[in-house]
Structure 1
Amino acid sequence: MGCLLIVEDHALVREGMAQTLARLGAEWCVIEASDAAQALAVIDGGAEVDLVLTDLMLPGMNGFSLLATLRERDPSLPVVVVSALSDKATVSRAMRQGASGFVSKGDSGDQLVQAVRLVLDGGLYIPPERRPPNARAGRTSATIRPSPADDYGLTQAQTRVLHLLAEGRSNREIAESLGLAEGTVKVHVTRIFKAMKVTSRAQVLIALAQRGTRREG
C-alpha cells in the first residue's frame, strides 16, 4: 500500500484534501500532519511515505523550509505544494527549490488528483495558468531542448532519456518510448541528476532553460 502525507495546519482543509485523495483508490493511505515538525516526526518514525503534499503558510517551519529539508534528506521523495499563494513568483520559487508539482487551493479536486497521479508516475505538474503556450496539460513544454551529451558527460542513452524528460514524460512513458525497463529509466534519471548537479525534474528544466538563455545571449 502506498502512503501520502498531507501537511496542512487547517483541519477542515486537511480533511477535505484527504477525502479528495481517497479517489486514488484503496491502495493509498493518507497520513495527516498539522505542521512541519509533525510531518518530519512521521517520516523519522519510519513511515514509508511515497509523496508529500504541503502548504506553504505553516506555523513554525514554513513550507519552503520543509521542502528544503525534505530535499536534503531524500531528493527522491516527491513533494507537491498546495497553497493559496499561487502567484508566478511563488510557483517559480517552489519549483526551483525542488517541488514536483504545485496546486492552487483555488483549483478543483480533480486537478489535485491529476497532479498527484502525474507526480507519482514520475512526472512534473505545473499549474495550467503557469504553463508555457502550447504545453500539454500536466506536462512541461516540449520547446526546451537538452544540451548535447558532451555538455554534461552523458551517454547517448542518457541523452535520449533527457530529451524525453525535458518534454515532461514520466518514467513509464520514457520506458515505453525507448523500449526500456522502467527500472533502467530510473537509473538513467538518477545519473542525469548527478551529472547536472540537480535533485529534481524541475531543476533539470530550469538548468536547461537557463543554459539556453545564456547561449542565446
Structure 2
Amino acid sequence: MLIIEDHALVREGLVQTLNRFGDGWELVEAADAAQALSFMGDGQEIDLVLTDLMLPGMNGFSLLATLREQDPSLPVIVVSALADAATVRRAMRQGASGFVSKGDSGVQLVQAVRTVLDGGLYIPPERRSSTPRGVRALPASGPVPAGERGLTQAQARVLDLLAQGHTNREIAESLGLAEGTVKVHITRIFRVMKVSSRAQVLIALAQRGTRKGGQG
C-alpha cells in the first residue's frame, strides 16, 4: 500500500493508524507524486494508493489522472482536508475508489481501505448525500450482488447495470467511476464469463438464470 502525503507528521499518523487498526499491510511512503511515480516505475507491486490532494508539484487530481492512464485497475483512496461536495464529486469522477477526510477517525480510514481492497467504493455515510446526482450511495460492504464467481463487488455492480442495458457512460455516472475504469471492469467481466460482447453477456446471464427482471 502506497501512502502519498507531503506533510511528514500526517504521513506518519496515517502509517501508525493503518498499522494499529489494519491487517498487517505492508506500507510504503512517498512525499509527493514524483516520488510515488518513481517508486511505482521501479516495478514495485502496489495493491492500493492513498493520496492527499494538495501535493507539491503534481497535485492529487493530476496524479489520479496519471495513475488511471498507467493502470486503470489500481484503486486509489483520496485522504484530504478538503471534503466539500465539489471536491468529493471531482475525486470520484476522476477515478478515486474512496474518499476519506482527514477529520475522519482511524476506524473509518481502515474501513475505507478494507472496502476498496474488496473491490468496493467507499464514501463515509455522513458524506454520501454529497455524491454526484445519479451516483448511488453504496454500502461500505456487502455481498456481490450478481453472484458471479471471480468478480469483485465493483465488477458485479457494473455487470448488474450492464445487464439492464446501460451504456458505459451511464454506468460510470451511476457508480461515480471514470469511463476508463468501467471499460476495465467490463473487459474483466468478459474474461470471467468467457464472452466477447454485451449481447453474449445477456445470453449467458439468461442461461444461468441470474438476469434480474426484464424477462417475459
By the TM > 0.5 criterion, same fold? Answer: yes
Secondary structure (helix, strand or coil) at the match of 1:102 reads: strand
State whether residues 4 and 36 of structure 2, in contact with CA within 8 Å, keep that contact through their aligned partners in structure 1.
yes
State whether residues 76 and 199 of structure 1, in contact with CA within 8 Å, keep that contact through their aligned partners in structure 2.
no
Q: Does 1:173 align with 2:143?
A: yes
Secondary structure (helix, strand or coil) at the match of 2:100 reads: strand
Secondary structure (helix, strand or coil) at the match of 2:63 reads: helix
State whether residues 81 and 101 of structure 1, in contact with CA within 8 Å, keep that contact through their aligned partners in structure 2.
yes
CA gap of 1:126–1:169, structure 2 versus 1, over 3 A, is closer
Identity over the aligned pairs, expressed in percent?
60
Secondary structure (helix, strand or coil) at the match of 1:181 reads: coil
Which residue of the partner structure matches residue 203 of structure 1? Answer: 177
What is the aligned-residue RMSD (CA, Å)?
3.4
Instruction: Report Cα offsets for 1:105-147 as digits up to 9, x if no partner.
Output: 01110010011111111111113332139xxxxxx99x969xx
1:72 & 1:103 partners in 2: Cα distance? 23
2:119 & 2:72 partners in 1: Cα distance? 13
2:127 & 2:10 partners in 1: Cα distance? 24
Moved more, 87-96 or 123-132: 123-132
Aligned residue among 50, 53, 60 for 2:50 = 53
Instruction: Report Cα offsets for 1:14-69 as digits up to 9, x if no partner.
Output: 0110111122222x200100000000011111111001000011000000100110
The TM-score with structure 2 as length reference comes to: 0.68
Runs of 4+ with >3 A deviation: 166-172, 183-192, 197-201
CA gap of 1:181–1:52, structure 2 versus 1, over 3 A, is same
What does residue range 1-217 of structure 1 map to in structure 2 within 5 Å? 4-22=1-19, 23-26=21-24, 28-132=25-129, 168=138, 173-174=143-144, 177-183=145-151, 196=168, 201-203=175-177
Secondary structure (helix, strand or coil) at the match of 2:2 reads: strand
CA gap of 1:187–1:131, structure 2 versus 1, over 3 A, is closer
CA gap of 1:7–1:199, structure 2 versus 1, over 3 A, is farther
CA gap of 1:167–1:94, structure 2 versus 1, over 3 A, is closer
Secondary structure (helix, strand or coil) at the match of 2:176 reads: helix
Counterpart residue type for residue 46 of structure 1: G
For structure 2, the residue ranges without an aligned partner over 5 or more in a row are 183-216
2:97 & 2:18 partners in 1: Cα distance? 17
1:185 CA drift (Å): 7.3
State whether residues 95 and 178 of structure 2, in contact with CA within 8 Å, keep that contact through their aligned partners in structure 1.
no
State whether residues 147 and 156 of structure 2, in contact with CA within 8 Å, keep that contact through their aligned partners in structure 1.
no
CA gap of 1:60–1:122, structure 2 versus 1, over 3 A, is same
State whether residues 75 and 199 of structure 1, in contact with CA within 8 Å, keep that contact through their aligned partners in structure 2.
no
For structure 1, the residue ranges without an aligned partner over 5 or more in a row are 134-139, 146-165, 208-217
CA gap of 1:203–1:184, structure 2 versus 1, over 3 A, is closer
CA gap of 1:43–1:11, structure 2 versus 1, over 3 A, is same
The TM-score with structure 1 as length reference comes to: 0.67
